[in-house]
Amino acid sequence: MKKIFSVLFIAAFIFTMLTACGSRSSESSGDSAAVSAFDGSSAAVSASEEEAEDEAETQDEENYDTGDASLDDPRNADGIGEDELMVVSFGTSYNDSRRLTIGAIESAIEEAFPEWSVRRGFTSQIIIDHVLRRDGVAIDNVGQALDRAVENGVRRLVVQPTHLMNGFEYNDLVDEVAQYADAFDAVAIGEPLLTSDEDFAAVAAAIVEATAEYDDGSTAIVFMGHGTEAESNGVYSRMQQVLTDAGNANYFIGTVEAEPSVEDVLAAVKKGSYSRVVLRPLMIVAGDHANNDMAGDEEESWKSAFEGAGYDVECLVNGLGELESIRRLFVQHAQAAVDSLGQGREPVCGDSLKDGVYEIAVDSSSSMFNIDKCVLTVENGQMTAAMTMGGTGYLYVYMGTSREAEAAGEDSYISFTEDENGAHTFTVPVEALDRETACAAFSKKKEMWYDRTLVFRSDSLPREAFADGTFVTAESLGLADGSYTLEVTLSGGSSRAGVESPAQMTVEDGTAMVTIVWSSSSYDYMKVDGVQYDFDGDGSNSTFVIPVPCFDVPVPVQADTIAMSTPHEIEYTLCFDSSTIQVQS
């Protein structure tokens, strides 16, 4: 079965988060840095991993009261089913904040996706080790969480980061998940919190609403982010602009480790006639940065800086993850990732296919119902599928649910046939392709029915299998030779990749060729109908000239990414909208 790796391992899927304090390099700043609520991206730090561990041990000795770890669910149970939604965070060892932010986000996603098992993965090993050493609570790192998913037989995996923005950490996550691409049938990664224009507007509205009671005309409301030396640090100035444009001139955004600095924010506040300052972290969790760099009594803290300038200061030590509107935004991003796994499939009935015998791919909801090979027979608009199983554990199948099978008579059961190698084959009716079909299977060992869901995939059939006139082509549209533009939609992959649209298209002798320009430079070839097309362009982004086999339906393509340690072919679909075709002047 072809794997759909919905992850743009390229220069898209970027990992810069907010759930703690930096990238792997920022982990090395110790638990007092690694424990924090990172929002940002992976600012480089000078401390080594050994120094970080020493600092974590020192914090253990100081015995900070961060709450009861037993109240937080590490979400590392087994027996989780075949659909998993992994929530990945940098992490924090502040137990109460972890439960009220990361845990609350996980719970919101779990409530929104009751059919999916929600699991946790942290990227900071220092935090994981610190919590285990101090509290005896085991939290999976991303690799352990992925291994657990494989061992549990997960087939569809969605990874939703709880990060503020796109940055270095996101790329690290993508690279790690990429190593498991072949372990799942489909993988998708959700967007960080601040990705689209709509995200910025929603987050700005959320933080304004959360602090509305302090907006009395004489109070400056200051949000402290983490900051990074990376280009993604621009999210802070962008958020400032969104707030200002919305009429919130008394709201200010600064960072701990980049710009705007506390000095920059203080200078901006001094330009107004404010007597009071409210400080709150622009971070998913309220960890070390919020408790110490922002609200601490030390001379270097933001609280001390504003008090030293004569302001009455109030600190709100609450992570963004405590806000329902922020959790709702993460749910929306997870929904988009889940939706991307099944985009572009409309049921295909037998009358859309030519009579014949075709090998077809089948998605099974259970790894225990393993189909080694399936052959589809089409005759006079009717379809049957001969499914050759990978084992001999089932005596019968029934096209329906287990409850329906138990109520039906044995005459309705479908028995297997056995070939010379002892393989079992069940031949079943198929009403439509690309539609979830209930199939109950009777276990020989357990002597009971089990529910399975099958999807017979039309995208695995050769185009010649489809009836004439099924597809809209350049020839059927009567396109004259010449140059055109049209809208192109990309699906699959990580949902972070993109292609330029409108795209340039040329038609010659009834054959349409389109120029695909990716949002990344990380692809070296594409395949359409098994034919490889190499890089064709002199721009910085990967560019290919490929045929347009048909319009208005998803066209499966493969693109080979070289962004990881080893190249990977990733499955995508392109849809070319014939209604948008325009002659290029």
Taking CA atoms, 453 is separated from 130, 136, 362, 387, in Å, by 43, 40, 10, 14
Q: What is the DSSP letter of 551?
A: B
Residues paired with 488 in a beta bridge: 576
What contacts 242, CB < 8 A, 6 or more positions away? 200, 201, 204
For residues 527 and 40, is the Cβ–Cβ distance under 8 A?
no
Which residue in 226, 289, 333, 568 is the catalytic one? 226
For residues 29 and 49, is the Cβ–Cβ distance under 8 A?
no
CA distance 466 to 113: 36
Backbone angles phi, psi at 428, to 5 degrees: -125, 150
DSSP per residue over 243-266, as a string? HHHTT-TTEEEEESSSSS-HHHHH
Q: Token digits for 328?
A: 């709702």
CA distance 237 to 245: 12
Nearest to 41 by CA among 231, 273, 284: 231
Q: What is the DSSP letter of 479?
A: P
Active site residue 226: yes
Backbone angles phi, psi at 214, to 5 degrees: -95, -5
Nearest to 545 by CA among 523, 571, 526: 526
Crossing angle, helix 324-340 and helix 197-210, to 10 degrees?
A: 160
CA distance 94 to 116: 27
Nearest to 99 by CA among 116, 74, 80: 74
Q: Token digits for 392?
A: 């001999």
Q: In angstroms, how far apart are the furthest CA atoms of the chain?
A: 89
Residues paired with 526 in a beta bridge: 533, 559
Q: Other CB atoms closer than 10 Å to residue 2's CB: what's the count?
A: 14
The whole-angstrom distance between residue 301's C-alpha and the CA centroid of its chain comes to 35
CA distance 195 to 496: 10
What single-letter amino acid sits at 242?
V
Residues taking part in catalysis: 226
